[in-house]
Amino acid sequence: MPIPTASSILVDGLLPDILFVPSPNCDERPSGAAVSLIVIHAISLPPGEFGGDAIERLFTNRLDPAAHPYYSEIHDLRVSTHFLIRRSGTLVQFVPCDKRAWHAGLSSWRGRIRCNDFTIWIELEGCDSVAFEEAQYHVLTGLLDLLKRCYPLAEIAGHADIAPGRKTDPGPQFDWKRIVRYLPSNAKM
């Protein structure tokens, strides 16, 4: 599995040589909306369990509500992300970076609402109570290097930062110090 580097290129918002699983849950960004924020999330389906194809099924509207009790609560969601980094470090892309992924719901960042308009979303397979894997940080930093070169990124935040009180991810197990070079100088750690 290739790891993105600063010399990697995006072609039509896609990272070549990685698995692309197209999500229908996206659309065009509003005219003039520049990508300026990366948001890091954590996801596991079922909650607290890793592996399997449930994440891909969620982002492609194919989650079977009978496969797990939790899925019956979420199978009607129409959400997506740009990238998923599996526990193994495998990188999957669902939405081209130039398109708006449907992810944030009610959200705001530094007084701006509708975070989907100006954000690239990166999901890490994980949860609040389990440390992330070295392979995930390795792929994440390579991806951040690439995205920073391709877009006018100003900041990086967690899902909890754009939806406080509603979301908690990537959670206390995420090591923000591992990506400190990508954070704005006034970031809280």
Would you say 120 and 44 are in contact if contact means Cβ atoms under 8 Å apart? no
Helix H or strand E segment including 14: none
Question: Strand 37-43 vs strand 155-158: parallel, antiparallel, or unpaired?
Answer: parallel
DSSP code of residue 133: P
Residue with tokens 């969620």: 58
Would you say 43 and 123 are in contact if contact means Cβ atoms under 8 Å apart? yes
Identified catalytic residue from 56, 73, 123, 155: 123
Which residue in 52, 65, 75 sits closest to 125, CA to CA? 52
Q: Quick one: CA dihedral 14, 116, 182, 176, positive or negative?
A: negative
Active-site annotation holds for 155:
no
Give the span between the Cα atoms of 90 and 70, in whole angstroms: 25
Catalytic residue annotation: 123
